Amino acid sequence: MADSWEDQAEVPPSSTSAPQPKSTPAPKLGLNPNASTFAFNPTASSFNPGSFAPSKPVSPQPPAQPATTAPHPSAAAAQNGDVTTSADTHMTDAVEAASSSGADQAAADMSSLSMSDAQLAHARQSSSAHTTAPDRPAPHTASVQPAAMAADAAAEEDDEMDEEEGHRQDEMQRIQTQLDKADNREHMNVVFIGHVDAGKSTTGGQILYLTGGVDERTIQKYEKEAKDKNRESWYMAYIMDTNEEERAKGKTVEVGRALFTTEKKRYTILDAPGHKNYVPNMIAGAAQADVGVLVVAARKGEFETGFERGGQTREHAQLAKTLGVAKLVIAINKMDDPSIAGPSGEWSKERYDEIIARITPFLRNNCGYHPKKDIIFLPMSGLMGTNIKDPPPKHICSWYTGGTLFEVLDNVDPFPRDPLKPFRMSIIDKYKDMGTIAMGKSESGMISKGDALYVMPNKVPVSVTTIYRDDAEVEAAKGGENLRIRLTGIEDTEISAGFVLCSRQRLVPTVTFFQAQLQILDLLEHKAVFTAGYKAILHIHSLVEECEITQLIGQVDLKAKAQGRDSTHPVKFVKGNSVVLVRIDVEKPICVERFDHVAQLGRFTLRDEGRTIAIGKITKLPKSLKEAA
């Protein structure tokens, strides 16, 4: 098996300006994307397909007013009570790739691409004649050439590369000019996570209210509706919780989505459900976010319940880190609650400090967040709207000076995104609208109108005809944006959640197995031993697949690893809370990346019977991925 792995770390790093010839016609394969070999089943698990349901389209979203210029809710900004929200996980995220250059991957892709593509095409064609769609061009086989021609070809290739690089630079310039015409404020996806009832939806609703996304009349309507349902205090949450079930039960089910802006940034709020039954939906939401707001209820007894073993404060924080949420704002909410506030409503510094003291070691030791660099604490009242846009009045809180929620979010450093990386967008949903619309979040690279791309793993050649960024049409978009892209060359039925829209020159790897480092969490009581043969549900970017641990390569000693010593020891099995190196197999080809190339496509969670049992990152991919496919 050793030789079937591609150790991509050995690929010499290439410059970030590696050529990416957008205009060069890419090899096209005669693959039928409808071929049964790619019958992806995104519902083959405990995953709740509702979160991707196209039946709940994104509501029209009027632009929220900049927070700083909208001191009061603007009636004009609200549309007859419709607010800028929709309970959908329509957009997928990517946090910018890990520190290593994506060009490495490009080089790796480029070096192995042509041969394996040809082989893939060949394998597909010979295995099933009907997989060749009549309207697709013939498979590309030109790279399988006699050795004598290789030197000439290499020289020619060098010239082509230079030419392509020049072209790429021009192309970049053109895209940048287009980008400059659009709203150039940085965009950030913020996911609200935390235990059930912590106040996530209330805070999301309050943010919209404070930024003019909801008017007074709507609030009054919600107040009445909430009262009728005996849920008086939930009226603010109704702004985010839009469906009947959510309102009746007072619990978010699907990830709510809404937009707001400050002077500095454009934000998408992703309001995740806190209930443990809906963790898969929370995963889908967090996977789209750059920053998380972990809402923790300070109310007496409520923090304790949420932070117990099995409480969602813990699980959400761990998942967030794995899913690429690099920074976490810990919003210590409900500071106004009479169980902890003083007689005149003063916020309790003791309670605030107590929660920080209890939660910090967990975030550091069990989640991997660096307390100084990655975590910011903040006291807040989502219900009262205190310390969200404006600081708390001194008589309520004189001891906190760290900035409001908006200030804290505005000051989170922009994520370094290299526009020259190959384009990647994990598709979370699709629908028909004058063509095929693929929805997702651009994870790396840039995209512009007219681009020729592939939808992987089926390698369907498509062209980009329209790009919508947060519902507004744009000419081009960079990484980290929520996009809807109109494509030609593909039917909506040919796309499933978890497919990846990618650059034609630098394909996203397509595999049926990979090597990964797993951090095993608490295992199920009746499956307390983890060994080869363990089956689980793999959640990776917007993809959900059944998988099997086919090999337990060894247990990892992280201390030894950090010291550069031999760190992996063979074992037959491990128990919970250990770190292991494993091989994971899935039945059908999936698109993933090595964690250190594109982190968002290389980190995952394993769930079993509704519980997260492990978090992991991909360390190695098979050598010839397309052969595996």
Q: Which stretches of the chain bind Mg ion, using CB under 5 A?
A: 200-201, 252
3-class SS letters over 323-373: CCCCEEEEEEECCCCCCCCCCCCCCCHHHHHHHHHHHHHHHHHHHCCCCCC
Both tokens assigned to 181: 């015409």
Q: How far apart are the first and last CA of the chain?
A: 16
The stretch among 90-98, 139-147, 199-207, 602-610 that binds ligand GTP (CB under 6 A) is 199-207
Q: Which of 222/234 has CB closer to ligand GTP?
A: 234
User: What is the DSSP pairing of strand 256-261 with strand 265-271?
Assistant: antiparallel
The stretch among 50-58, 192-200, 359-367, 518-526 that binds ligand GTP (CB under 6 A) is 192-200
Give min distance, CB of 287 to ligand GTP, in A. 18
Q: For the window 215-234, what string marks contact with ligand GTP as x by the rule CB under 6 A? A: ------------------xx
104 binds, among ligand GTP, Mg ion, none (CB under 5 to 8 A by kind): none
Q: Which of 479, 516, 520 lies closest to 611 in space, CA to CA?
A: 520
* Placement of tokens 């079993």 in the chain: 608
Among 275, 364, 611, 623, which residue interacts with ligand GTP (rule: CB under 6 A)? Answer: 275
Residues contacting residue 393 through CB under 8 Å, at least 6 positions apart: none
Give min distance, CB of 209 to ligand GTP, in A. 13
Task: Work out whether 385 is an interface residue with ligand GTP (CB under 6 A).
Answer: no
CA distance 468 to 473: 4
Task: Work out whether 451 is an interface residue with ligand GTP (CB under 6 A).
Answer: no
User: What is the DSSP pairing of strand 573-574 with strand 85-86?
Assistant: unpaired
Number of residues that bind ligand GTP (CB under 6 A): 24
334 binds, among Mg ion, ligand GTP, none (CB under 5 to 8 A by kind): ligand GTP
Give min distance, CB of 241 to Mg ion, in A. 6
Q: What does the longest C-alpha to C-alpha distance in the chain come to?
A: 88
Burial (CB count within 10 angstroms: exposed 0-12, middle 13-18, buried 19+), residue 568: middle
The residue with its CB nearest to ligand GTP is: 274
CA distance 55 to 400: 45
Task: Work out whether 251 is an interface residue with ligand GTP (CB under 6 A).
Answer: yes
Q: For the window 465-484, what string marks contact with ligand GTP as x by the rule CB under 6 A? A: --------------------
302 binds, among ligand GTP, Mg ion, none (CB under 5 to 8 A by kind): none
Among 381, 458, 517, 600, which residue interacts with ligand GTP (rule: CB under 6 A)? Answer: 381
Q: Which of 143/220 has CB closer to ligand GTP?
A: 220
Give min distance, CB of 79 to ligand GTP, in A. 23
Give min distance, CB of 395 to ligand GTP, in A. 18
Of residues 313 through 372, those in contact with ligand GTP by CB under 6 A are: 333-334, 336-337
Query: What DSSP designation does 66 have?
Result: B
Task: Work out whether 202 is an interface residue with ligand GTP (CB under 6 A).
Answer: yes
314 binds, among Mg ion, ligand GTP, none (CB under 5 to 8 A by kind): none
Give min distance, CB of 410 to ligand GTP, in A. 21
Both tokens assigned to 476: 């081009």
Task: Work out whether 200 is an interface residue with ligand GTP (CB under 6 A).
Answer: yes
Q: Which of 339, 300, 58, 318 lies closest to 193 in space, CA to CA?
A: 318
Q: Which of 193/598 has CB closer to ligand GTP?
A: 193
Give min distance, CB of 252 to Mg ion, in A. 3
Task: Work out whether 498 is an interface residue with ligand GTP (CB under 6 A).
Answer: no
Both tokens assigned to 290: 């750059």
Pair 64, 183: CB distance under 8 Å: no
Give min distance, CB of 206 to ligand GTP, in A. 8
* C-alpha torsion angle, residues 508, 513, 516, 522 (rounded to 10): 120
Pair 536, 495: CB distance under 8 Å: no
382 binds, among Mg ion, ligand GTP, none (CB under 5 to 8 A by kind): ligand GTP
CB atoms within 10 A of CB 309: 7
Residues contacting residue 539 through CB under 8 Å, at least 6 positions apart: 47, 280, 283, 287, 604, 605, 606, 607
- Residues in a beta bridge with 622: 5
Site residues for ligand GTP per CB under 6 A: 196-202, 233-234, 237, 250-252, 273-275, 295, 333-334, 336-337, 381-383
